[in-house]
Amino acid sequence: MKIMEKIKAKARASVKRIVLPEGDEARTVKAAEIIASEGVAEPILLTPDFIAAAENKARLETYAADLYELRKAKGLSEEAAAKLAADPMYYGMMMVKEGDADGLVSGAVHSTGDMLRPALQIIRTAPGMKLVSSAFLLESPRTEFGEDGLLVLADCVVNPCPDAEELAGIAVATAETARTLCGFEEPRVAMLSFSSKGSAEHPLVEKVRKAAETARAIAPDLILDGELQLDAALIPEVAAIKAKGSPVAGRANVLIFPDLQSGNIGYKIAERMGGASGFAVLQGLAGPCNDLSRGCSVDDIVNTVAATAVQAGNRRRRD
Ligand code: ACO
């Protein structure tokens, strides 16, 4: 992906410590070597043996005690907290939480849910953010779309059924990711639907319209419009017919899907049938954590670590 050169250059400019909880997995070990040799980040490979080593005992005890404090109101016992803290995924999350690592990348072995749940429970949302969501960086061979073929899509990974307010939050967060991670000078956000500017009436369309209004109220300077169909969002000729005068239609570079089913299906159609490629990052967490696909390559891990390191540089800390 062309965007990766820019992201890696940004990551090299300020080297961050990225923890890899799947530290005995072959692709992860290989990726860590490349990450270190290219200077993209300082990788920390976690293994159960590393965590249990005598010289790390004090840190494990601290993490167990802090994890218990964090989750006791949710019913976590001291014994269960001690057991969880020794699990590399939870240990890695505690490292990010406590500032002993700047970010985390996992998912070569664990499922999305197994990685997301501890991130949501331990790292939690960044100040001012109500929701964690994802942004998918999709690079198309069709350079007339987005920014030289690059589009940012959301939410394709996390929130199954966002309501209008949550959808507005996802739109604003994704525009911010497009700016800070992808270097878009002018994010132009299309709130997608099966209707363009009133061409259909349905409660699902109304949700998208309401989300667009809410997003404009939260971020009045953001260039955002909806509801728009995908063709009206991307193709100038269609925009001229379906959404005349829209500041976004025909030139959108950020696409917001109405729910997870459409978002997840949408990016997979672009990849499998349209020859596009890409990967997702999480947004809205107080410390950057990112998920891999279990079918990921060594390069995918290197790229996700680089993106996580850049997100760490833009991190909004929770006091
Ligand atoms: N933002 C912030 N916090 C959240 C969010 C969110 N989006 N979702 C849940 N939480 C919080 C909850 O408030 C809760 O906090 P608490 O325990 O402190 O009260 C905690 O996270 C756990 O929430 P649950 O509702 O118990 O967790 P749930 O079982 O619903 O899991 C998850 C949340 C994992 C994000 C779920 O929504 C999910 O599975 N999403 C889809 C993931 C997926 O399968 N994606 C598609 C495949 S990935 C791909 O194709 C690349």
pLDDT by residue (tens digit) across 267-317? 999 999 999 999 999 999 999 999 998 989 999 999 999 999 999 998 755
Q: What's the DSSP call for residue 222?
A: S
Alpha helices in 73-125 (DSSP H): 78-85, 88-97, 112-118
Residue closest to 228 by CA, chosen among 209, 201, 203: 209
Question: Average pLDDT in the 248-258 region?
Answer: 98
Q: CA–CA separation, 313 vs 103, rounded Å? A: 10
pLDDT digits (tens, 9 = 90+) for 134-159: 999 999 999 999 999 999 999 999 99
Contact residues of ligand 1, CB 6 A cut-off: 74, 112-113, 116-117, 120-121, 125, 131-132, 157-160, 264, 280, 293
Number of Cβ within 10 Å of residue 196's Cβ equals 26
The CATH number corresponding to 133-278 among 3.40.190.10, 1.10.3720.10, 3.40.50.10750, 3.40.50.720 equals 3.40.50.10750
Strand order in the sheet with 17-20: 42-45, 17-20, 103-106, 289-291
Give the distance between the most distant pair of CA atoms in the chain: 69
**Cα–ligand 1 centroid distance for 159 (angstroms):** 7
118 alpha carbon – ligand 1 mean position (Å): 9
Residue among 111, 120, 157, 291 to mutate when testing ligand 1 (max atoms within 8 A of CB): 120
User: 3-state DSSP call for residue 125?
Assistant: strand
Extended beta strands in the chain, E state: 17-20, 42-45, 103-106, 133-139, 150-154, 188-192, 223-228, 254-256, 277-283, 289-291
CB 182 within 8 A of CB 148: no
Q: Which CATH number fits domain 2-124+286-318: 3.30.830.10, 3.40.50.10950, 3.40.190.10, 3.90.79.10?
A: 3.40.50.10950
Supply the mean pLDDT for the chain.
95
For the chain, give every domain's residue range: 2-124+286-318, 133-278
Rounded distance from Cα 113 to ligand 1 centre (Å): 7
Nearest CA to ligand 1 atom 15: 121
Q: Give the ligand 1 atom nearest the CA of 116.
A: 34
Record the pTM: 0.94
Question: Given this model, what pLDDT does residue 319 score?
Answer: 45
Which of 116, 124, 166, 167 maximizes ligand 1 atoms within 8 Å of its Cβ, making it the mutation to test the pocket? 116
Q: Do domains 2-124+286-318 and 133-278 have the same CATH topology?
A: yes
Element (H, E) at 12: helix 2-13
Check if the beta carbon of residue 124 is closer than 8 Å to that of residue 319: no
* Spatial CA neighbour of 91 closest among 46, 49, 58, 54: 46
Per-residue pLDDT of 198-247, as tens digits, reads 999 999 999 999 999 999 999 999 999 999 999 999 999 999 999 999 99
* φ/ψ of residue 76, rounded to 5: -80, 125
Stretch among 55-59, 63-67, 85-89, 100-104 having the lowest mean pLDDT: 55-59
200 vs 58: CA distance, rounded Å: 61
Q: Which residues sit opposite 223 in a β-bridge?
A: 188
End-to-end Cα separation, the chain, in angstroms: 36
Q: What is the mean pLDDT of residues 26-38?
A: 97
Give the β-pairing of 223-228 and 188-192: parallel
The helix/strand/coil state of 224 is strand
Q: Where are the alpha helices (DSSP H) in 181-287?
A: 203-218, 230-234, 236-242, 260-274
Which of 117, 161, 259, 318 to mutate to test ligand 1, by most ligand atoms within 8 A of the CB atom? 117
Going by their DSSP bridges, the two strands 277-283 and 133-139 should be labelled as: antiparallel
Which amino acid would we find at residue 128? G
Closest Cα to atom 45 of ligand 1: 157
**Residue 275 · residue 141 · CB < 8 Å:** yes
3-state SS, residue 186? coil
